[in-house]
Amino acid sequence: MYNCDQVMAELANFLDDQVAAEIRRELEIHLAHCRTCQALYDSARKTLTIVTESRSFELPEGISSRILEKIMSKVREARRPRPKPSSHPRKRH
Ligand SMILES: [Zn+2]
């Protein structure tokens, strides 16, 4: 069984339809049970749809992976436990 990190690592390829049948099955099983990944997959797919539909020309190959990577890095940032807040005092504007 895949865990969330494995699913996220493969999600871009999954959306690009570039995963092996076995991996796809694992992802589908995980997505069916994990609301976190489900939500992520859903928003990533919607983002891709919006991007795709807003352009009349064909998207360069691999573009969805790049968009996904951006989304993923944001998700990872959000999930990452924060370092000691006191070590980086926030500057006031
Ligand atoms: Zn998950």
Q: What is the pTM of this model?
A: 0.61
Q: Provide the pLDDT confidence category of residue 88 given band limits of 50, 70 and 90.
A: low
What is the distance in A from the centroid of ligand 1 to the CA of 29?
10
The residue to which tokens 């859903």 are assigned: 42
> In whole angstroms, what is the distance from residue 19 CA to residue 64 CA?
14
Q: Assign residue 24 a region: left if phi > 0, alpha if psi is -120 to 50, beta otherwise?
A: alpha
pLDDT in tens, 17-65: 889 999 999 999 999 999 999 998 998 888 878 777 776 555 666 767 7
Please report the pLDDT score of residue 31 as a whole number.
95
Spell out which residues have Cβ within 5 A of ligand 1, the ion: 4, 34, 36-37
> In whole angstroms, what is the distance from residue 31 CA to residue 35 CA?
7
What is the distance in A from the centroid of ligand 1 to the CA of 88?
31
What crossing angle do the helices spanning 21-33 and 35-53 adopt, rounded to 10°?
110
